[in-house]
Amino acid sequence: MLNGMWQVSGAHGRIDPERAIEAMLRYHDAGFTTWDLADHYGPAEDLIGRFPRRFAEERGAKRLGEIQAFTKWVPYPGPMTRRIVEDAVAVPLRRMQVDCLDLLQFHWWDYGDRRYLDALKHLADLREEGKIRHLALTNFDTERLGIITGARIEIVSNQVQYSLVDRRPAVKMAAFCEEQGITLLTYGTVLGGLLSETWIIGRPEPGRADLTTASLQKYKNMIDAWGGWPLFQALLAALKPIANKHGASIANIGTRYILDQSAVPGSSSARGSASPNTSRIMRASSTSRSTWRM
């Protein structure tokens, strides 16, 4: 399980850095030791830079290797020279206070501009030089995955939206990735909190005033495109007995389903998706080898 940090990017409420660090410590103590963030998630990279220092003070520097942090680089399409790419990678290295990024996930807005291949080739060179441990993608489609692997650029994962409501990756992407040895890291698995007992059958369809965060607004649109509110409530009603059987929550069951897909090693969950029973039915990973600067 990955701790998604989109919630600090804005449109989810004010962020108190001290309270954020306290919350990060609690998540880590509960076994959720991997963080998923991006260059445009507000202060996320800065929080990750501060967190290990506080962690070392309170939990001991010998345990710093438990922490993993995966960031994203989301540039505007344009020239992708070695200098531009190297300067871009220097930013998260500085903000996160590390010598090597555990995993850098690259995103590109315009497939018509094939300079994403230039960027990935330079990123691969930086990986060989020790600035990046693993190179990955976010929100690339299967056609572009084929172009990238055809260019002999090695990537380890592609992060995509994947849930009981949005199963598009199962159409052809999952099979392609398994053939190529690429995994799928997922987000949107609990629909920003909508996949939960809070919205169980009988709850009126939420209006805009009820959708108080960017996550809720985004994933309500996803539900509408999928089949609408009555069908979604029928899904919740079907999931609830399964959750009860396992002493878990609807969010747990939805996440477990995605984690059980053979191409998926991890899912990035939003705030509020975990329960005290989460560890009984979900995998967790804490195998980082980061060198954190103290």
pLDDT per residue as tens, the chain (294 positions) = 899 998 888 777 788 999 999 999 999 999 999 999 999 999 999 999 999 999 999 999 999 999 999 999 999 999 999 999 999 999 999 999 999 999 999 999 999 999 999 999 999 999 999 999 999 999 999 999 999 999 999 999 999 999 999 999 999 999 999 999 999 999 999 999 999 999 987 789 999 899 988 889 999 999 999 999 999 999 999 999 999 999 999 999 999 999 999 999 989 875 433 333 333 333 333 333 334 343
Burial class of residue 230 in the structure, from the number of CB atoms within 10 Å of its CB (0-12 exposed, 13-18 middle, 19+ buried): exposed
Report yes or no on 294 lying in a domain: no
With H, G, I as helix, E, B as strand and everything else as coil, classify residue 291. Answer: coil
Report yes or no on 181 lying in a domain: yes
Cβ pair 211, 11 in contact under 8 A: no
Cβ pair 159, 186 in contact under 8 A: yes
What pLDDT is recorded for position 270?
Answer: 53
**CATH assignment of the domain containing 80:** 3.20.20.100
Cβ pair 131, 101 in contact under 8 A: yes
How far is Cα 98 from Cα 294, in angstroms, rounded to an integer? 9
Report yes or no on 293 lying in a domain: no
Report yes or no on 232 lying in a domain: yes
- Name the pairing type of β-strands 68-73 and 101-106: parallel
Report yes or no on 292 lying in a domain: no
What pLDDT is recorded for position 275?
Answer: 36
Domain count, the chain: 1
Which residue range(s) make up the domain with 230? 2-281
For residue 137, give the H/E element and its range. strand 132-138
What pLDDT is recorded for position 13?
Answer: 78
Report yes or no on 290 lying in a domain: no
Report yes or no on 286 lying in a domain: no
What pLDDT is recorded for position 203?
Answer: 84
Long-range CB pairs of 23-30, under 8 A, 24+ apart, other chains included: 24/51, 25/51, 25/54, 25/55, 25/58, 25/59, 27/3, 28/55, 28/59, 28/66, 28/67, 30/274, 30/278, 30/279
Report yes or no on 287 lying in a domain: no
CB neighbour list of residue 34: distance below 8 Å, 6 or more residues apart: 1, 2, 3, 68, 69, 70, 266, 284, 285, 286, 288
In 3D space, the residue among 142, 139, 138 whose CA is nearest the CA of residue 173 turns out to be 142
Total residue count of the chain as it appears in this document: 294
